[in-house]
Structure 1
């Protein structure tokens, strides 16, 4: 895994590249609200010889934290800068949680770039956070660690105060690639799924080539709770794109 940085309008963005670009499809990973790039390593490390790119969005991991600029369209510029700095082939985009909205924001301005999209347990929206959300997230513990070990509190405050609501379902009408939607269905999970039945209906109405894959032993945190199953499906999806 090679660590790199790119400058986005004066702010350094940390990202990692696994393997060199080759004839296989490139996997581009967009993680959630508090998650640095390292949170994707358990998945990427299982994709042998696969060219993969994952970034730490502003305020996460080793990336810089600007004074302002924390709406979805600001985050999408981090992804854009990384991809302008790296060669890619047959790109498949994988987004988890709020990283879905940053990914879809980027794709809304690049409608023909994706050869496949994997969405993990999140509606095609960017949400406006409620008052107090930054304090909630910074104080939360997950797997024995406070989340402010991974994300700068100022970034969370910026997301709370600057975020605006945006829907992205409409962009699928103009995109030609298949979409895979991973949904956690364990209602007793500590962190339940972020997808409602209404969200599923919206995806079905918007996406022509949609496959919904259910994860019965997971709530929202599918990448942790069923990593083996995620890996099997991601490998098959990438293999299908390789041969397309």
Structure 2
């Protein structure tokens, strides 16, 4: 399938996105997808296809994929403004927002900054309700133990990794929210959501659905992709039914 490719401008930084609008039903609320730390828009093409006829837009954050790689600007605010740039460029008025892994913190930051205006729901994949500061030595280890061996330096440039390591600061993102939310969580070792994080999510969202994946740690999109996609589709369809009443 051929999706629309475009760029949004975030203060001079071009943010690449893919959009299934050319194949979608305009009467269904769209979904914006925020990939994980080293993921690109292209890695979510199969989710765009799976969710048709719902319109989906997926972006590559700064320093990833076909987006620009600025020298600076890699903390939470700059990443959530990447999302805002896509929303603004496409003129989106009502939408759901999905963030996976590190993308969940960017999605939560975007929701908090815009006071959840125009948002129908939040979907969050295996990440706690916070934006994390990276530990000392993380960048070098991430590059040499993961990106280079697995040939992912074209997905995220090393300049972006060092920028994230240098600029990221811890921000709690667990303030109460009226939005309906879906949490996708692995239950095996390696999951980034522990029991305390789940309690923080329960305190944050009055309307919360949790889907646990018992054959997965953090990489639930890899080990149980079909189940994740089905959980996302079913949650979105249920929310649309509520809004239609």
What TM-score does the superposition give when structure 2 sets the normalisation length? 0.91
Q: Helix, strand or coil for the counterpart of 1:45?
A: helix
Q: Helix, strand or coil for the counterpart of 2:206?
A: coil
Q: Summarize the alignment of residues 145-224 of structure 1 with structure 2, pairs less than 5 Å apart.
A: 145-170=150-175, 173=176, 175-187=177-189, 192-224=190-222
Q: How far off is 1:186 after superposition?
A: 2.5
In 1, distance between residues paired with 2:15 and 2:152? 19
Q: How far off is 1:66 after superposition?
A: 0.6
In 2, distance between residues paired with 1:196 and 1:186? 10
Could you tell which deviates more after superposition, 158-167 or 125-134?
125-134
Count of residue pairs the alignment pairs up: 237
Mark the runs of 5 or more structure 1 residues left unpaired by the alignment: none
Q: How far off is 1:145 after superposition?
A: 2.5
2:99 to 92, 95, 99: 95
2:187, 2:215 within 8 Å by CA — same for their partners in 1? yes
Q: CA deviation digits over 1:94-150, x for unaligned, max 9?
A: 1111111111111111223221111110001001111221122222347x7233231
- Name the residue aligned to 2:122: 117
1:182, 1:215 within 8 Å by CA — same for their partners in 2? yes
Q: How far off is 1:45 after superposition?
A: 1.7
- Structure 2 residue 230 is the aligned partner of structure 1 residue 232: yes
In 2, distance between residues paired with 1:135 and 1:213? 34
Could you tell which deviates more after superposition, 65-74 or 44-53?
44-53
Q: Helix, strand or coil for the counterpart of 1:99?
A: helix
- Name the residue aligned to 1:37: 41
In 1, distance between residues paired with 2:79 and 2:180? 24
1:11 to 10, 13, 17: 13
What TM-score does the superposition give when structure 1 sets the normalisation length? 0.92
Could you tell which deviates more after superposition, 153-162 or 234-243?
234-243
- Structure 2 residue 136 is the aligned partner of structure 1 residue 131: yes
Q: How far off is 1:88 after superposition?
A: 3.0
- Name the residue aligned to 1:75: 79
In 2, distance between residues paired with 1:84 and 1:184? 33
Q: CA deviation digits over 1:25-81, x for unaligned, max 9?
A: 211101111111112222222112110011000000000011101101011111100
Q: How far off is 1:183 after superposition?
A: 0.6
Q: For the aligned residues, what is the CA RMSD? A: 1.7
Q: How far off is 1:89 after superposition?
A: 5.5
1:123, 1:195 within 8 Å by CA — same for their partners in 2? yes
